[in-house]
Amino acid sequence: MRSELDHGLAAIEGELLGRMEGCEALVGSAVDCLLTGDHPAAEALSRRARELAQSERATDAQLLALIARQSPVAGDLRVAIALLHLNERTGRIVAQCATIAALAGSSPSSLRPSTAQSVCVGEMADLVVEQIRQAVGAFAARDPQLARGIEQRDAAINELNRACFALGVSEGRAPDEREVALFCALAARAIERVGDNAVGIARQVEHAAPRGRALTAAA
């Protein structure tokens, strides 16, 4: 029974960390769609986000069923609860990427964000992708120090979000230009929320049991 529980938790954790790694590419793709005006790619990304949303629901059910079938002790429950949080936060990241894709698909295809807004959003995306990457590493290694370092990036992302919003309300004179500027500001807000969820994932490191028996047994 212990082996089944250990292997089950380890398998779900591996699946979730892999999905989080996939979110790095998802963020980059969503921002590329926005900055290039690639409507077909935005629609494809939206379909991918819907598929990942189904995976989130399946993982929730899998975790709850595993807990119900087995006899988890306190350490197992901490891991399981942390994984439920990871699943939820990853789902929120996917949802924010879908929001960016929707904005990209709704923007006038003949117009692009200004250079200043493009740089601002691009810098935000780079920082957020690094946050996700560090969150994956911190949780996999159960490294609280690495997890705490993720929050330090959040201040820079918040500042860039404010700058992108200021550009969004000040740029563009024609209606279409104002629309693109506003959509870019809304996308920046979505990127900022992705960063918040990466921080939320990192905070689960301190709540999960130390890396040990479960993952070692499945190795």
What's the whole-model pTM score? 0.88
Token pair 């601002």 is found at 120
**pLDDT by residue (tens digit) across 18-39?**
999 999 999 999 999 999 989 9
The pLDDT-based confidence of 214 (bands split at 50, 70, 90) is very low
- What token pair was written down for 89? 């936060």
In Å, what is the CA distance from 167 to each residue of 36, 126, 197?
Answer: 18, 19, 25
Q: Tell me how far apart the alpha carbons of residues 7 and 164 are, in angstroms, rounded to a whole number.
A: 45
Domain ranges, ordered by start, for the chain = 2-218
Quick one: which of 194, 201, 200 has its CA closest to 29?
Answer: 194
* Stretch 87-100: mean pLDDT: 96
pLDDT in tens, 137-161: 999 999 988 888 888 788 899 999 9
Residue 215 confidence (pLDDT) above 50: no
CATH, domain 2-218, list 1.20.58.220, 3.40.50.1100, 3.40.50.720, 3.10.150.10: 1.20.58.220
Q: Residue written as tokens 């939206």?
A: 46
